[in-house]
Structure 1
Amino acid sequence: MNIQISKWLLLAIISSSVFLSVMDIFIVNVAIPHIKTGIHGTDSDIQLVIALYLLGYATFLVTGGRAGDYYGKKRVFAAAMLLFVVTSAACGFAQTPWQLNAARFFQGVSAAWMIPQGITYIQELFRGGRERVKALGIYGSVAGSASVIGQFLGGLLPETNGFLEGWRLIFLINLPIGLLVLPMALMFLPPDQRRKGAGFDHSGVLLLTGALVSIIYPLIRGRELNWPLWCIAMLITGGVLLALFVTDQKQKQLRGRLPLLDVRLFGFRDFNIGMAVVLFYFMVQDSYFLINVMLLETGLGFSSAETGMLFVFQGVGYVIASLVSLRLVPLFGKKVLQAGVLIMIITLALHIAVLNGPDVDRQLLYPILFAYGTGCGSVLPSLLAVGLKNIPIELAGAASGTFSTFQQTAIALGIGVIGGIFFSSLGPLPDVAAYISAYRMATVTNIGLLGLVGFFLWLLPGDEPLRSPADAACPIQSSN
């Protein structure tokens, strides 16, 4: 059944996918201590709650786009939305860490299959340049709003007393939204023709998934288990699988087959530098939330609602700065990003200075987090432009898919590495002083990573203006 409705209403249906996908990253961040208590999990269990969602998203994002070509965007969008609802329910009713983390991985996979269909629909529904920019702007604003709403709800819902434990609501809240959108998508989204020429790189997906899981999982689990031999073996296996993946992709490229990642991209120096920027920046992004939530709520006794409000201020700073930076980047190029990195470094130093004991000046934290958000907002919206600056237009789609895969993988890696530094510094029976010391060590590491971001930005040639990210048809980024 296909009923004709306004394309702006179709945009609302499409945008629900990015709203749910981004919200589920940020709503979990604030609720981590409640989730850990609710499932009787360990430190590594809660790291995996974040990391496995991102790994599922990262490894299946490109494949999700190909699925839309092969099976049809409408079918894939609806199927992925249904899977997202089912896996959200599985997360909400999980009884053990294993159940929750398995569901989180497949929740990330379903998000990876939803997002590319929405991006493609926007390209097809909004043909005019100005209209398309407006539609992409609305889509991006929905993602930004989802990050702020997620942080607010992640603080509020775990403290709700009712029939279910409050932390479960952060997953179950997806159900009414998904069940409302699903029939609307089936009724209103226009049908499309399947393109038989589009295929899947099944072996590439398996190799990349195996490599990333074999690297990230032992990085998170190994510390807690005192690095048993199987953890070392997994790390070695991950390195071997990654090498095989690169070889496999090169061979497919030479044979004229469609690889998961277009290895020609890595022949461009600026793209490689841009990917280094992406790696070190996104290692900081979610690890920042993890270590701050653990210090504030578990170490210093903040309520999750208060922590959520602090991150809302950070999110508001991000949104304001992102709107300003997108106007400044065409004029001043990479200098805007360099200024943003400097702001982030300074405000992280202020985090360390202020979060120095149980008697924290809580009111002072609000402007500090707001300022940190402005630094993020000055950097993140234009990172894609950095990576695609000198990429030929025929490779822009492949480059944006590679960018998003790299982005989500870097976040998961940051959770493993920075989270590992934080938790290994706590000791078996941590007190407030131990939390503050562990936080300082992890935050200093993040400052060092941001220093590397600044260094690689400096390596990029010239200060000429960068191309606007709106010029590239790319999967939306998580927003602060």
Structure 2
Amino acid sequence: MSVVPARSWGVLAVLCGAIFLEGIDVAMLNVALPSIRADLGLSTGMLSGVVSAYVLGYGGFMLLGGRVADLLGRRRVFLFFLGVFLLFSGLGGFAEEGWVLLVARFVTGVAAAFMTPAGLSLITTTFPEGRQRNQALLIYAGTAAGGFALGLVIGGLLTAFGWRWVFFAPVLFSAALLIAAIPLLKETGRPSSARGFDLAGALSVTGAMMLLVYGVVRLEHPENGWPLTVAVFAGGFALLAAFVAIERRSASPLVRLGILRSGPLVRANIMAALLTASFFGFQFLVTLYLQELRGWSTIQTGLALLAAAADVILAPILTPWLVNRFGNAKVVLAGLLSGLLAYALFIGVGLDWTYAAMLPSMLLIGVMFALVYGPVTIVATDGIAEHEQGLAGGLINTSFQFGAALGLSVVTAVNVAALGAATGQEAGLAALRTALIVPLTATLLGAIVAAVGLLARTRTADRVPVNAAT
């Protein structure tokens, strides 16, 4: 087995730092929202818009970001948008009015949409396909998941000093990453030799993704009216259909539709969306339970969810061994079954539960992330040509992001509908238990997709390599 140069591990450290930054940035803001509203006097709609603006920018531009990295150069795109991320995170810290926060979060989301797939494709083109790349991706995935979990704790601590530090801390971290990245990162391969830029395809797919994500966000607020929500979804699907028609005729398509003929890639993206839908929906419900029904502080809540970050340790240590021993398909299925058990155990949650009663679910969720996030990322990028690695990274990250938005919106809508006009702790607990069915169902569907992939794999060959697709 060839030895990976020390520089490559330095590159991985920088890119892991970037995905960790993206994770803690989202989680820290969620913790700081009540303090921001109290200080700036924001309405509930404006506060919700601060969160939605980031999701719209991230989810809307992710697919475009991945392809642009292939076309213009991954290093160039990563460094430029890391700088944009730094600047607009700082702008959010100086905000005195709601609209400034909206602009800052939207542009920060757009920056992350370009930066994240560029970073992932730098890993997949730096490390050779096989065990070395798998290990690198598993470390990267564990770091990403750890960022979301640790961000809750870090956000609670920073908010105690002042909510503006939730924006200023990423500025300092981004600056350190930028200083390290400039000498370490090298352009991997030549930019794609596409004969031109597919502007019509870029506009249609970006518009489609933004409308679809906005439609998902509107699900959280059924009181705003269903006709407009349905119209937003209809517009999104119409633009998506136009995008497909444009790509079929384009001489240099933004997305080569043939890439979607890969069953493993499609299954990996479906499982990615269902994974994050279940986790973010569950995280939101647990936060409601601990803070609103039990009266726990933000720091206590963050520490309670810290056990779910067990994947930070398991992903780089246990998961590579399991993947090498059993293959991605079986590991992913085992991870999703762990998550299914975690959510099933939590359905019986009560107002008198001790943390010891919650701990098994938290730990099992950490196991789920450790066994699913990294291997699914491997499957989504394995066997993809080097000049399309940015596109593959954009697809899988779009699935992760879209799933997170969908899960959060659906559990919110179900929780609100189940609660109705009822008040009190018992009513809140009953509504929460009903909404917990959403992450349970999402994980069950993910396990079914994984099982289908495993059956398809066993039918096509008696024996497959370790890195075989799911």
User: Normalised by the shorter chain, which TM-score bucket?
Assistant: 0.7 to 0.9
- Does the CA-based 8 Å contact 1:322-1:374 persist in structure 2? no
Q: Shift of residue 288 of structure 1?
A: 1.8
- Does the CA-based 8 Å contact 2:138-2:374 persist in structure 1? no
Q: Shift of residue 145 of structure 1?
A: 4.3
User: What is aligned with 1:81?
Assistant: 82
1:213 to 1:131, Cα distance in 2 relative to 1, 3 A: closer
Q: Please list, as runs of the form range in 1=range in 2, the aligned pairs for 1:177-192 lying within 5 A after superposition.
A: 177-186=173-182, 189=185
Note the residue ranges of structure 2 that are not aligned, 5 or more in a row: 1-5
Give, as a single letter, the amino acid of the residue that structure 1 aligns with 2:241: A
Alignment equivalent of 1:203, drawn from 181, 200, 203? 200
- Does the CA-based 8 Å contact 2:70-2:388 persist in structure 1? no
User: What is aligned with 1:476?
Assistant: none
- Tell whether 2:314 aligns with 1:320: yes
Q: Shift of residue 383 of structure 1?
A: 1.9
The SS at the match of 2:295 is coil
Give, as a single letter, the amino acid of the residue that structure 2 aligns with 1:293: T
- Does the CA-based 8 Å contact 1:318-1:375 persist in structure 2? no
The share of aligned pairs that are identical, in percent, is 27
Q: Shift of residue 450 of structure 1?
A: 1.5
Alignment equivalent of 2:348, drawn from 325, 345, 353? 353
Q: Deviations over 1:99-155 (max 9, x none)?
A: 434422221211222234444555666679777666556545543543343232023
Q: Shift of residue 307 of structure 1?
A: 0.9
- Tell whether 2:258 aligns with 1:298: no
User: What is aligned with 1:277?
Assistant: 271
User: What is aligned with 2:374?
Assistant: 381
Give, as a single letter, the amino acid of the residue that structure 2 aligns with 1:416: S
User: What is aligned with 1:308?
Assistant: 302
User: What is aligned with 1:100?
Assistant: 101
1:308 to 1:28, Cα distance in 2 relative to 1, 3 A: same
- Does the CA-based 8 Å contact 2:312-2:370 persist in structure 1? yes
Q: Please list, as runs of the form range in 1=range in 2, the aligned pairs for 1:54-453 lying within 5 A after superposition.
A: 54-68=55-69, 71-122=72-123, 139-140=140-141, 142-158=143-159, 160-161=160-161, 166-186=162-182, 189=185, 195=191, 197-198=193-194, 199-221=196-218, 223-227=221-225, 229-252=227-250, 256-259=251-254, 261-317=255-311, 319-320=313-314, 323-333=317-327, 334-354=329-349, 356-357=350-351, 359-387=352-380, 397=389, 398-427=391-420, 430-453=423-446
User: What is aligned with 1:21?
Assistant: 22
The SS at the match of 1:283 is helix
Q: Shift of residue 175 of structure 1?
A: 1.3
- Does the CA-based 8 Å contact 1:201-1:258 persist in structure 2? yes
Note the residue ranges of structure 1 that are not aligned, 5 or more in a row: 473-480
Distance 1:189 1:41 in 2: 41
Distance 1:228 1:135 in 2: 44
Distance 2:285 2:37 in 1: 14
Give, as a single letter, the amino acid of the residue that structure 2 aligns with 1:237: G
Give, as a single letter, the amino acid of the residue that structure 2 aligns with 1:20: L
- Does the CA-based 8 Å contact 2:16-2:140 persist in structure 1? yes
Deviates more, 1:65-74 or 1:320-329: 65-74
Q: CA RMSD in A?
A: 3.6
1:288 to 1:115, Cα distance in 2 relative to 1, 3 A: same
1:74 to 1:243, Cα distance in 2 relative to 1, 3 A: closer
Give, as a single letter, the amino acid of the residue that structure 1 aligns with 2:207: G
**Structure-1-length-normalised TM-score:** 0.80
Q: Deviations over 1:175-224 (max 9, x none)?
A: 11223333454566557998484554333232223223323324433635
1:317 to 1:367, Cα distance in 2 relative to 1, 3 A: farther
- Report the count of equivalent residues: 455
Distance 2:223 2:40 in 1: 19
Distance 1:205 1:424 in 2: 37
1:179 to 1:49, Cα distance in 2 relative to 1, 3 A: same
Distance 1:192 1:317 in 2: 29
Deviates more, 1:414-423 or 1:51-60: 51-60
- Does the CA-based 8 Å contact 1:330-1:467 persist in structure 2? no
Distance 2:206 2:445 in 1: 27
User: What is aligned with 1:475?
Assistant: none
Q: Shift of residue 304 of structure 1?
A: 0.7
- Does the CA-based 8 Å contact 1:425-1:438 persist in structure 2? yes
Deviates more, 1:430-439 or 1:315-324: 315-324
1:233 to 1:134, Cα distance in 2 relative to 1, 3 A: closer
**Structure-2-length-normalised TM-score:** 0.82
Q: Shift of residue 441 of structure 1?
A: 1.6
Distance 1:41 1:123 in 2: 43
